């Protein structure tokens, strides 16, 4: 079984000068989900891991370099997530590869990424728009005394069962660490729901308690979803995190209750 310690994370790696799909590294989702208490056979959510690539390049049939941006969507039902450093190395391996058309490149990307994830990955040569005016309400401007920065404390979460609301709350203060290198991962997170009103002070304390926590982006979002669902009992829930870019890639995991609409794809100012 692939584990983070088996990957190229945290190791000095020579950047590839030849196309190599073998650089892609799959990490099974099952183990992390079991730790959170999520049943792989009956996922409590739908969604995907949406990657934005800003440094995609290849050669045309005549050897002239081409550049593009791209959006990749890995379904959350895939058995594997794609480890980020291996993803960057793989994309760099395309720099010297010749393709007759951009469509030929897209087919190559779909084939290689789908094989790694274990499910069909979509590829589009475009990026979603920047976030426009949003109805989301920031919870960051609260006067709080906080002294817990990990591990995540689901006990901070509570909701007022006497007050049912439908709202979108947002925070720019989500931070966790790579479980292998210890490097910081920074994100904004939108939490949309209908149900008992979530206590905003408790929610902010909860999100800040990820600050020194070591877990992959996708796993953090699934933990947030599972904890809010268990502690606050919303009728439906959506958790959408937008992580900042590293090595020309950013990742945006989205998890929503079954039947709930997916949030519109978007990027924020830090991306």
Which of these, 231, 148, 248, lies nearest to 191 by C-alpha position? Answer: 231
> For residues 260 and 236, is the Cβ–Cβ distance under 8 A?
yes
246 is in an annotated binding site: yes
The DSSP secondary structure of 111-134, one letter per residue, reads HHHHHHHTS--EEESS-PPBP-S-
84 is in an annotated binding site: yes
- CA–CA separation, 117 vs 25, rounded Å? 9
Around Cβ 27, how many Cβ atoms within 10 Å? 24
Task: Report the DSSP pairing between strands 46-59 and 249-256.
Answer: antiparallel
| Omega prior to 57 cis, within 30 of 0 | no
88 is in an annotated binding site: no
**CB neighbours of 238 closer than 8 A, spacing ≥ 6?**
190, 191, 192, 193, 254, 255, 256, 257, 260, 261, 262, 263
C-alpha to C-alpha distances, 177 to 125, 132, 245, nearest whole angstrom: 30, 29, 14
57 is in an annotated binding site: no
98 is in an annotated binding site: no
Which residues have a catalytic role annotated? 178, 185
- Token output for 40: 């792989």
139 is in an annotated binding site: no
Task: Report the DSSP pairing between strands 80-82 and 26-28.
Answer: antiparallel
Residues flagged as binding site for NADPH? 84-85, 246-247
Annotated binding-site residues for substrate read 82-84, 217-218
- Which residues participate in the annotated binding site? 82-85, 217-218, 246-247
């Amino acid at each position: 079984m692939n584990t983070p310690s088996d990957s190229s994370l945290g190791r000095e790696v020579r950047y590839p000068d030849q196309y190599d799909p073998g650089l892609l590294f799959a990490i099974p989702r099952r183990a992390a989900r079991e730790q959170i208490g999520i049943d792989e056979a009956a996922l409590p959510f739908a969604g995907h891991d949406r990657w934005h690539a800003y440094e995609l390049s290849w050669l045309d049939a005549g050897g002239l370099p081409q550049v593009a941006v791209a959006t990749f969507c890995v379904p959350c039902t895939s058995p594997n997530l794609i480890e980020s450093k291996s993803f960057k190395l793989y994309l760099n391996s395309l720099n010297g590869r010749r393709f007759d058309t951009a469509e030929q490149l897209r087919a190559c990307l779909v084939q290689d990424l789908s094989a790694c994830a274990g499910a069909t990955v979509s590829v589009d040569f475009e990026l979603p728009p920047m976030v426009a005016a949003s109805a989301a309400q920031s919870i960051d401007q609260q006067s709080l005394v906080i002294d817990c920065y990990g591990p995540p404390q689901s006990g901070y979460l509570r909701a007022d069962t006497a007050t049912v609301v439908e709202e979108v709350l947002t925070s720019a203060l989500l931070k966790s660490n790579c479980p292998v290198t210890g490097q910081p991962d920074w994100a904004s997170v939108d939490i949309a729901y209908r149900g008992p009103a979530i206590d905003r002070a408790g929610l902010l304390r909860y999100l800040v308690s990820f600050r020194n926590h070591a877990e992959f982006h996708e796993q953090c979002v699934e933990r947030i979803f599972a904890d809010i669902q268990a502690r606050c009992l919303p009728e439906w829930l959506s958790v959408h995190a937008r992580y900042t870019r590293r090595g020309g890639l950013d990742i945006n995991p989205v998890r929503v209750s079954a039947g709930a609409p997916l949030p519109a794809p978007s990027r924020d100012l830090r991306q």
